[in-house]
Chain A
Amino acid sequence: MPVPDLSAAVDIGGTFTDTVIACADGGVLATSKVLTTVKDPADGALSGVMTALKDIDRSLADVAGFVHGTTLATNALIEKRGARVATVATEGFGDILEIAYERRHSQYDINIEKPDYLVPRRRSFAIRERVTVGGDVLVPLEEAQLPTLLENLDQCEAEAVAICLLHSYANPTHERRLANLIATARPEMAISISSEVSPEAREFDRMCTTVANAYVQPLMQGYLRSLSSLFQDKGLGCPILMMTASGGITTVETAMRLPVRLVESGPAGGAILAGRVARACGADQVVSLDVGGTTAKLCLIDDGRPQMARQFEIARAARFVKGSGMPVRIPVVEMIEIGAGGGSIAAVDQLGRLSVGPQSAGSDPGPVAFGKGGRDPTVTDADVLQGLVDAGRFAEGRLFIDSGAARFSLQQKIGEPLGLESVAAARGVSAIVDENMASAARVHAVESGKDLTKRTMIAFGGNGPLHATRVAEKAGISQIIIPVDPGVGSAVGFLNAPLSFEMVRSRYMTLDRLDFAVLKSTFDQMIREAEGFVRLGDKVSALIRQRSAFMRYKGQGHEIEVRLPDRDLKKDDLGELINAFEDEYRRQFSRPVPGMVIEVMNWGLSVSTPEKAPERSAEPVSRAKPVPQEHREIRIAAERVSAECHRREELDSGDLVQGPALITEPQTTTLVGPGWTAVVDDAGNLHLCRRGRA
């Protein structure tokens, strides 16, 4: 019997469950794509893994590492399928969720509703206690109120309780005591406390995060238990590790305590993949573009590290409008998501303006060209009409492409109102959706204080490679990399994620008066907690720690993250800290502000196992021009041009393809636009370069 040497990654998405099986050196041996089994997603995961293992004639017993990501938590939040949650706040502050930020997320819409924060006022309770901003107890916890509180919890039939007391990030004793009291009296109750879930100042954000955690906890605990026992019964000998939103992995135990950290783990896997490709190719400034059927996700990646954020919004009512969802403060890979994908619907509004998305035809009914009942023209229909989609090879030839229907619908719904013939209408649809993606990338870069034009784009997802050169031109980008296997990018990314735990704690100080003793004890405690979580999954590896401070000029609202050395700070470090902050500030805003006090709002810590560095692939060198499979007429911009068509699997390292050209593979097609050149590197990545711009 062979020693277990395989690793498996399973990504359960809304439609498909993707599995990747790799050998010890990381090489992909087998993949599978099966339909997600909505009723019990663990079934689909098992059948996906078994299918892939069968392909290489191996069994679950051969699997030594298992990483899993799922949209289950995200979907429960979006579809409101979580537990009945009650909240407990400090007396006098029971309306934190109702009051929120006192704002409307859409300026001109007078018929707007506030987002649903999952807990109505009738399940919001309070208890007498008060801690000050400095963490001192102003009013002790009134334990005599416990019986009434329990009675209220019983009466509203709460299944989970979220406790968020004022300033608990500074002193968690009341929250912990209350949680213990409730747990003793109601052992079956799922309890989340804010000082553990999200120990940061801003009571509304912290309450939301705690509620979201409590809301998905019973569901995720049940799922993770049944998943673990299902795979164990079938012979899996290693623990299952869970992908988190931060792009790291964690143990099932931690995932059951902090299930809110599992949201959006699939897209995080894509960013991890892009980060590895960036390092392998030596691209130190990257923007990843992951375009699927419904949305496009963009992430900025510097030095191979995806940009991180501390806040994320779930279940936006107005799908992509900031502020229309529920904020959760967890470590996440920072991405923007816009309603631009293959299924995005094109329409002409009452002003005669052409718009694309955010409504999507999804996979059902899907684009008109799929002939499954779709009537509204989509981005994919426009691509079909421009000759960019190989009707015979699309989706490995399993899907019939009806270009006549696509033409008719574009002509009728777009061309006629705008006075354009159908191909011109198709070009318009492409131009608008590509502009939307490029604009989102530009605004996102500005919000992050970064320049977009110097970046290399790494494009994947079913529609990323097809739109990459067109989006890049609009964004002023002239280098693109299309990785190998762009269709199952997220699951491949899971395999390379480190075991990690990130935390942020609020401890307000100004830089001119740092309290080094408090700082030391704060970090010591954070290290103990974070390492404890990582050690659950790895007892032996040396751990990597990264400390950071979130700094700003006193009075500003936007914080800049400054990395700190991994040791206790002392007075001599001050000059270095100020320099680091001002350097970053100058980079973002052209000049630092003289004479201003600098304040630190939050302190961050990330603990992770070392990542295996990707093998550096050589600079691509073009040696040969392969003979195209065929030529096809495509329509790019206003021109009708003849494009070379190649199959990706038949291209060799060093092959050079001049645009306009199409490079097809089973799940996607890469468009090499006019003016672009593609070269294949040793690892099989496609490097696209805009001529005269490199």
Chain B
Amino acid sequence: MTDVDLQVMWNRLLALVEEQAQTLIRAAFSPIVRESGDISAGIFDAEGRMLAQAVTGTPGHINTMAEAVKMLCGRFPSQTLRPGDICMTNDPWLASGHLNDFLLMMPAFVDGQIVGYAACTSHLADLGGRGMGPEGTDVFDEGLLIPPCKLVEEGRINALLLEIVKANSREPVANEGDVYALIACCEAGVSRLTAMLLEFGHDDLNMLGHYIIETSRRGTVQAIADVPSGTYRNSLIVDGYDAPITLAAALHVSADHIVLDFDGTSDCSPKGINVPLNYAAAYSVFALRCVIGPDIPNNAGSLGCFSVTGPPGCILNAQPPAPVAMRHTLGQMTPDLIYGCLVQAIPDRVPAEGASALYDLPIRHVAEVGHDPDQRFAVEFVHNGGTGARPTRDGLSATAFPSGVWGTQVEIAEATAPVVFGRRELRTDSGGAGRCRGGLGQRIDLSPANDHGFLLSLSVERMIYPAKGREGGHAGAPGRIRLGDRDVPGKGDIRINPGETLIFETPGGGGYGRPIDRDKELVRKDISDRNVSKSSAERDYGLEEPN
């Protein structure tokens, strides 16, 4: 067995997890899964170490699945598992940070022995409770929690469990469909894994697993060696639910390892914006890996060089039974927190702050028409602000980062919900001025197209504390939400009545470098592209003849 043979198998494993992911996305019902790829799929060795994870998917699952499978392996020792069994849980502290994410794990057998596991995670549309919104006061408010259990035993689905999942949901049929999709994904992973071992004449994954983990660990250690050792601290103030929250971090970089500590971070919020540590770690490690060894695949070797900790009870290490439904709002702010540390070590490789948290619009029918199936609806439109300027490039306008979701198309939105968009345009001057300009936010005008209006559950950030610039770059414009001429806070439920218009403005990204140093040609181009107004060109960029 040469290294090249092992590499061929490694490539096969990476293709195999993509096949798993495609199976899941194609069969999924939850719109956030099919439109945004909010899933994860991976292959693990017999000890539960992750060997490969699909690139398809959002960063929210990057570390979480790797840790969750280890835990499930401990909970279900190999002698208790049979071929065709599938274990599952949606415990936010074990799976992926909130109840909507289901994690499934299936053992793969060769000659009666477990050789590895296929696992996958995806977001189910609804699990009852107060649903996807920040209004729950504890996790029990937020819906149904299923502790680790066997969802499938030797190929037979646990019918009672499926009935419970359906009976506790506003979207029972979609939930059942999504559970089927997850099962199909596990089965695809296991059957292809065993077929691969057969083809290559291997009885187990030991040699391949060792090779993958060692190669990836070595590469990651090399990348970490390029970052000067030391401790780098940063803190970030974010809007929070009803009071500002401090996120704090210390990044300890040693020769071959990086430890991130959230010590100093505010305590939990009474509302559902708290973040279990597994989820905060997912986005944090993602942010680090974007800069440190981005080409190295995710597996136990590359991820093992990073560890994340935080005082229990702080908002980035929320403990049960804290409400966590909207954990992504602050989870997605952690990259900005960490880049504020990392920039001290490697100043030329880190972007300015961006809008970061999604600006999503989960809307549903008003309560009084809930009895009428023709008027019931619940959809989530996904939108974004601008990303932070990079050291040598402008930020991206209306683009998701760190999340990997896709934005919604107006024509599809209007086909799936009784709404009409009056406008969707970039906001001139919303990108932070700088040598490299921050990405622009966008403005969306939204009105009811029915006789009753609709409900909106908001959980967005950067309405009060905008994205800061770096190296003299200016901050991006904050987000702003209005109902007619009345300003609305960024978190909580509101109702939009017929005749009213919601004006939804997403934040801009921060600038990088002093605006005065920006190439004047670029400033003139920005004026003709309406990215920058003439007055801002004069005031911020010092352009003397804006014409």
- Chain A interface residues (CB < 8 Å from chain B): 92-95, 98-104, 107-114, 120-122, 132-133, 138, 166-167, 201-204, 349-354, 418-420, 424, 427-428, 431-432, 435-436, 439-440, 442-443, 446-447, 449, 476, 508, 553, 555-558, 588-591, 593-596
A103 touching B351 in the complex, CB below 8 Å, given contacts A353-B215, A555-B31: no
Whole-angstrom distance between the alpha carbons of A436 and B12 in the complex? 8
Interface residue from A95, A201, A351 paired with B215 (Cβ < 8 Å): A351
Whole-angstrom distance between the alpha carbons of A201 and B416 in the complex? 12
Interchain nearest-CB distance for B78 vs A (Å): 26
B528 in the interface, Cβ–Cβ < 8 Å? yes
Q: Can you list 14 A-B pairs with a CB-CB distance of less than 8 A? A: A108-B295, A111-B393, A121-B529, A122-B528, A122-B529, A350-B222, A351-B296, A419-B3, A440-B15, A508-B415, A589-B184, A590-B184, A594-B176, A596-B177
B7 in the interface, Cβ–Cβ < 8 Å? yes
A99 touching B180 in the complex, CB below 8 Å, given contacts A133-B414, A202-B409, A557-B35: no
Whole-angstrom distance between the alpha carbons of A95 and B425 in the complex? 5
Residues of chain B from 347 to 390 with CB closer than 8 A to chain A in the complex = 351, 382-384, 390
A557 touching B424 in the complex, CB below 8 Å, given contacts A107-B55, A443-B15: no
Complex contacts, A103 vs chain B, CB 8 Å: 399-400, 404-407
Whole-angstrom distance between the alpha carbons of A111 and B442 in the complex? 21
Residues of chain B from 80 to 137 with CB closer than 8 A to chain A in the complex = 125
Q: Is A138's CB under 8 angstroms from B530's CB?
A: no
Q: Is B407's CB under 8 angstroms from A439's CB?
A: no
A166 touching B215 in the complex, CB below 8 Å, given contacts A121-B531, A589-B184: no
5 A-B pairs closest in CB distance: A557-B34, A102-B407, A92-B423, A428-B4, A439-B15
Q: Is A553's CB under 8 angstroms from B177's CB?
A: yes
Complex contacts, A121 vs chain B, CB 8 Å: 426, 529-531
Whole-angstrom distance between the alpha carbons of A427 and B531 in the complex? 53
Q: Is A431's CB under 8 angstroms from B5's CB?
A: yes
Residue of A nearest to B440 (CB): A98
Complex contacts, A98 vs chain B, CB 8 Å: 397-398, 426
Interchain nearest-CB distance for A175 vs B (Å): 14
Complex contacts, A138 vs chain B, CB 8 Å: 420
Number of A-B contacts (CB under 8 A): 205
Q: Is B410's CB under 8 angstroms from A166's CB?
A: yes
Interchain nearest-CB distance for B16 vs A (Å): 8
Q: Is B26's CB under 8 angstroms from A449's CB?
A: yes
Q: Is B19's CB under 8 angstroms from A99's CB?
A: no
B498 in the interface, Cβ–Cβ < 8 Å? no
A120 touching B410 in the complex, CB below 8 Å, given contacts A351-B218, A439-B15, A589-B26: no
Stretch at the interface among B286-294, B307-315, B465-473, B534-542: B286-294
Q: Is A202's CB under 8 angstroms from B412's CB?
A: yes
Known contacts A92-B421, A110-B290, A111-B392; can you find 4 more A-B pairs with CB under 8 A? A93-B421, A102-B383, A111-B390, A590-B184
Residue of A nearest to B398 (CB): A99
Interchain nearest-CB distance for A358 vs B (Å): 14
Interchain nearest-CB distance for B383 vs A (Å): 7
Whole-angstrom distance between the alpha carbons of A317 and B296 in the complex? 21
Interchain nearest-CB distance for A307 vs B (Å): 15
Whole-angstrom distance between the alpha carbons of A138 and B173 in the complex? 35
Whole-angstrom distance between the alpha carbons of A370 and B259 in the complex? 52
Complex contacts, A558 vs chain B, CB 8 Å: 25-27, 34
Q: Is B422's CB under 8 angstroms from A92's CB?
A: yes
Q: Is B28's CB under 8 angstroms from A556's CB?
A: yes
Whole-angstrom distance between the alpha carbons of A447 and B7 in the complex? 24
Q: Is B34's CB under 8 angstroms from A352's CB?
A: no
Residue of A99, A556, A557, A593 ringed by the most chain B CB atoms within 10 A: A99
Complex contacts, A431 vs chain B, CB 8 Å: 4-5, 8
B245 in the interface, Cβ–Cβ < 8 Å? no
Cβ contacts B394-436/A at 8 Å (1 or 0 each): 0011111100111101111011000011111110000000000
The contact size tier of chain B is 35 or more
- Chain B interface residues (CB < 8 Å from chain A): 2-5, 7-8, 10-12, 15, 18-19, 22-23, 25-31, 33-35, 55, 59, 125, 171, 173-174, 176-177, 180-181, 184, 187-188, 195, 199, 215-216, 218-219, 222, 289-291, 294-296, 351, 382-384, 390, 392-393, 396-401, 404-407, 409-412, 414-415, 420-426, 442, 445, 449, 528-531
Residue of B7, B10, B215, B423 ringed by the most chain A CB atoms within 10 A: B7
Complex contacts, A114 vs chain B, CB 8 Å: 396, 399
Q: Is B410's CB under 8 angstroms from A93's CB?
A: yes
Whole-angstrom distance between the alpha carbons of A311 and B22 in the complex? 18
Complex contacts, A133 vs chain B, CB 8 Å: 411, 414-415
Interchain nearest-CB distance for B183 vs A (Å): 9
Whole-angstrom distance between the alpha carbons of A111 and B187 in the complex? 37
Complex contacts, A350 vs chain B, CB 8 Å: 219, 222
Whole-angstrom distance between the alpha carbons of A109 and B393 in the complex? 13
Interchain nearest-CB distance for B197 vs A (Å): 14
Q: Is B4's CB under 8 angstroms from A418's CB?
A: yes
Complex contacts, B530 vs chain A, CB 8 Å: 121-122
Complex contacts, B7 vs chain A, CB 8 Å: 353-354, 428, 432
Interchain nearest-CB distance for A662 vs B (Å): 24
Q: Is A557's CB under 8 angstroms from B31's CB?
A: yes
Complex contacts, A589 vs chain B, CB 8 Å: 23, 26-27, 180-181, 184
Whole-angstrom distance between the alpha carbons of A314 and B382 in the complex? 26
Residue of B4, B187, B449 ringed by the most chain A CB atoms within 10 A: B4
Residue of B11, B294, B351, B528 ringed by the most chain A CB atoms within 10 A: B11
Q: Is B289's CB under 8 angstroms from A108's CB?
A: yes
Whole-angstrom distance between the alpha carbons of A201 and B425 in the complex? 19
Complex contacts, B2 vs chain A, CB 8 Å: 420, 424, 428
Residue of B nearest to A206 (CB): B411
A92 touching B425 in the complex, CB below 8 Å, given contacts A110-B390, A121-B531: yes
Q: Is A436's CB under 8 angstroms from B351's CB?
A: no
Q: Is A101's CB under 8 angstroms from B22's CB?
A: no
Residue of B nearest to A419 (CB): B3
Interface residue from B176, B294, B393 paired with A593 (Cβ < 8 Å): B176
A107 touching B404 in the complex, CB below 8 Å, given contacts A424-B2, A446-B22, A508-B415: yes
Interface residue from A351, A476, A553 paired with B29 (Cβ < 8 Å): A553
Whole-angstrom distance between the alpha carbons of A349 and B297 in the complex? 13
Residue of B nearest to A200 (CB): B411
Interface residue from B8, B34, B199, B384 paired with A476 (Cβ < 8 Å): B199
Q: Is A132's CB under 8 angstroms from B11's CB?
A: no
Residue of A nearest to B401 (CB): A104
Residue of A98, A107, A108, A442 ringed by the most chain B CB atoms within 10 A: A107
Q: Is A432's CB under 8 angstroms from B4's CB?
A: yes
Q: Is B180's CB under 8 angstroms from A591's CB?
A: yes
Residue of A166, A352, A443, A557 ringed by the most chain B CB atoms within 10 A: A557
Whole-angstrom distance between the alpha carbons of A95 and B396 in the complex? 14
Complex contacts, B173 vs chain A, CB 8 Å: 593-596
Residue of B nearest to A353 (CB): B7
Q: Is A351's CB under 8 angstroms from B216's CB?
A: yes
Q: Is B34's CB under 8 angstroms from A556's CB?
A: yes
Whole-angstrom distance between the alpha carbons of A614 and B480 in the complex? 65
Whole-angstrom distance between the alpha carbons of A462 and B351 in the complex? 46
Complex contacts, B12 vs chain A, CB 8 Å: 435, 439
Residue of A nearest to B14 (CB): A439
Interchain nearest-CB distance for A213 vs B (Å): 19
Interchain nearest-CB distance for B273 vs A (Å): 22
Whole-angstrom distance between the alpha carbons of A436 and B407 in the complex? 31
Interchain nearest-CB distance for B496 vs A (Å): 18
Whole-angstrom distance between the alpha carbons of A138 and B34 in the complex? 31
A435 touching B11 in the complex, CB below 8 Å, given contacts A201-B411, A201-B412, A447-B26: yes
